């Protein structure tokens, strides 16, 4: 376990050092989104379990193949006779009948019987069988191929879901960091105003009320600043869990949320609502194919089977102690065994009907799944377009708030505006910036959710980073 954690941390640092200027002595490592995805796809337990399931299905196929190959078994047995069987001979049954001239010995055997058998019996040998005609086994081989395909799709689905979770966590981490920067700027502005009034009060140019009012405004931001730190830690911890790295290794994100504004319009315009990669629909298609093969397999239960059998055995029987006077006699045989199903109480018929019902259920589910996925994709695209418009609106709001705040700062310095006017402009600017970053975060998460729905995330590209 310690070796595994150490390997992850070394890979972590190596990836961080790949970014020019991202890691220097004493600085916090900087990881890009692609690097975080590469680490998560490499060692996340969910992905590893999905890969192991594919391996398990491969062994299951080999098991079916093994049933088509010859099977050889060795067996041995020993039995000790406790009470021998008694045999009675009726010589009259052979035409002699009872007569006065019957020998006395024959009459005695007929009345008392004769003990037959030996005390000890041994048997050992080999048996082999080879299926020649086995329709159900042949169909089971085809079913195993489809089961492997299903496991591969489930593994792909796990990777797509992990990519979506890592992206959401990464964006949440970026949002928490950006929010802290905004709140820190607001706190610094309040602290500067408090310091200014404190100096003016000492010089007799400001009242005690002005000092108290600015002090309260500054202290009111401190809880928000602490909450921003908590949000950063929570977002980082969530991202570390998804990546499968130790929680003591801290890193930061690359870039900021504002950089995504430059490409959002092109990204939204290039959306292709192709559902061919949707994992839910693909799994349903594979399940229907699997059920069709299962139905065909149940119908093949009516077909006869033919197998080649062979035996080679040794037997020995003796009286007295078990290991004395052993006389081994070999015997062998070879033959063909034909099995023609005739009647099984309607079991085969019921299995066929069950398979037909299950196939019908999957076909009905397909119609509902297609409608549901189409609706989800439509809503996701609409949500992305709304977020794009909202980002544009928030961006304009930030520019206007910055201009208004600059004007108010100059007016306050000239004495043409009160502190309340300055504080209102500061709060408006803070809210505008927070809303702007929140809108970008909502857009990125919506885009990631759509990517998950369409199943078109470049998982292989991330894994090769």
Closest CA to 443 of 349, 364, 399, 380: 380
- Comparing CA positions, the residue from 439, 357, 413 lying closest to residue 196 is 413
Burial degree of 277 (CB within 10 A; 0-12, 13-18, 19+): middle
pLDDT band at residue 208 using 50, 70 and 90 as cut-offs: confident
* Distance in angstroms (rounded) separating the CA atoms of residues 402 and 431: 11
User: How far is 160 from 41, CA to CA, in rounded Å?
Assistant: 10
Tokens of 20: 């020019």
Residue for token digits 């700062």? Answer: 409
Among 18-27, 199-208, 314-323, 370-379, name the one with the lowest average pLDDT.
18-27
> Collapsing DSSP states into helix, strand and coil, what is residue 344?
coil
Would you say residue 371 has pLDDT above 80?
Answer: yes
pLDDT, averaged across the chain: 84
Query: Which residue, chain included where needed, has tokens 């969910």?
Result: 46
Which pTM was predicted?
Answer: 0.77
pLDDT digits over 246-295, tens only?
A: 888 888 888 888 888 888 888 887 788 888 889 999 999 999 999 999 99
Residues 6+ positions from 244 with CB-CB distance below 8 Å: 8, 39, 40, 43, 44, 45
pLDDT tens digit string along 213-247? 888 988 988 899 999 999 999 999 999 998 888 88
Q: Which pLDDT belongs to residue 10?
A: 46
Mean pLDDT of 187-194: 88
* C-alpha span between 65 and 185 (Å, rounded): 69
What pLDDT shows up at residue 23? 43
Q: What's residue 95's pLDDT?
A: 53
% helix, strand, coil for the chain, step of 5: 70, 15, 20
Q: E strand or H helix at 241, and its extent?
A: helix 208-243
Give, to the nearest 10 degrees, the angle between helix 347-414 and helix 419-454.
Answer: 160
From residue 393, give the alpha-carbon distance in Å to each of 174, 271, 311, 397, 465.
Answer: 21, 22, 86, 6, 36
Cβ-in-10-Å burial (0-12, 13-18, 19+) of 394 comes to: buried
Q: Which residue, among 460, 434, 456, 368, has the nearest Cα to 164 in the 3D structure? A: 456
pLDDT score, position 397: 92
**Residue 42: predicted pLDDT:** 85
How many angstroms separate the CA atoms of 177 and 209, rounded?
34
Helical residues (DSSP H) of 307-418, grouped into ranges? 347-414
Q: ∠ CA 58-60-65 to the nearest 5 degrees?
A: 95
pLDDT at 464: 62
Sign of CA dihedral 160, 165, 169, 174: positive
């Amino acid at each position: 376990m310690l070796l595994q954690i150490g390997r992850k941390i070394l890979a972590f640092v190596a990836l961080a050092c790949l970014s020019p200027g991202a890691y220097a002595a004493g600085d916090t490592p900087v990881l890009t989104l692609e690097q975080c995805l590469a680490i998560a796809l490499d060692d996340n337990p969910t992905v590893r379990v999905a890969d192991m399931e594919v391996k398990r299905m491969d062994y299951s196929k080999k098991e079916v193949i093994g049933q088509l190959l010859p099977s050889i078994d060795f067996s041995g047995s020993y039995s000790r006779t406790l009470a021998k069987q008694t045999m009675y001979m009726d010589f009259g049954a052979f035409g002699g009948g009872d007569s006065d001239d019957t020998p006395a010995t024959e009459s005695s055997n007929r009345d008392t019987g004769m003990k037959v058998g030996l005390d000890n019996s041994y048997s050992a040998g080999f048996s082999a069988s080879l299926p020649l005609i086995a329709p159900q086994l042949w169909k089971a081989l085809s079913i195993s191929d489809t089961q492997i395909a299903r496991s591969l799709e489930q593994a792909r689905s796990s990777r797509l879901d992990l990519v979506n979770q890592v992206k959401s966590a990464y964006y949440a981490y970026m949002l928490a960091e950006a929010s802290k920067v905004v709140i820190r700027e607001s706190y610094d502005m309040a602290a500067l105003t408090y310091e200014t009034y404190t100096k003016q009060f000492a010089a007799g140019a400001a009242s005690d009320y002005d000092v108290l009012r600015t002090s309260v405004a500054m202290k009111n931001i401190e809880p928000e600043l602490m909450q921003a730190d908590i949000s950063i830690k929570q977002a980082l911890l969530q991202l570390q869990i998804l990546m499968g790295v130790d929680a003591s290794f801290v890193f930061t994100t690359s870039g900021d949320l504002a950089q995504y504004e430059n490409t959002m319009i092109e990204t939204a315009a290039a959306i292709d609502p192709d559902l061919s990669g949707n994992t839910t629909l693909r799994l349903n298609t594979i399940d229907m194919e699997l059920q069709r093969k299962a139905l065909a397999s149940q119908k093949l239960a009516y077909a006869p089977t033919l197998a080649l059998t062979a035996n080679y055995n040794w037997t020995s029987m003796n009286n007295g102690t078990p290991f004395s006077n052993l006389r081994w006699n070999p015997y062998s045989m070879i033959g063909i065994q034909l099995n023609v199903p005739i009647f099984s109480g309607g079991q085969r018929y019921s299995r066929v009907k069950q398979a037909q019902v299950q196939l019908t259920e999957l076909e009905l589910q397909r119609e509902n799944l297609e409608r549901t996925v189409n609706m989800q994709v439509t809503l996701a695209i609409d949500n992305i377009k709304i977020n794009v418009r909202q980002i544009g609106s928030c961006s304009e709001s930030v520019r206007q708030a910055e201009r208004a705040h600059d004007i108010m700062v100059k007016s306050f310095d000239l004495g043409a505006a009160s502190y309340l006017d300055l504080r209102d402009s500061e709060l408006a600017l803070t809210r505008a910036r927070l809303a702007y970053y929140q809108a970008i975060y909502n857009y990125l998460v919506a885009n990631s959710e759509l990517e998950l729905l369409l199943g078109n995330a470049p998982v292989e590209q991330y894994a090769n980073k």
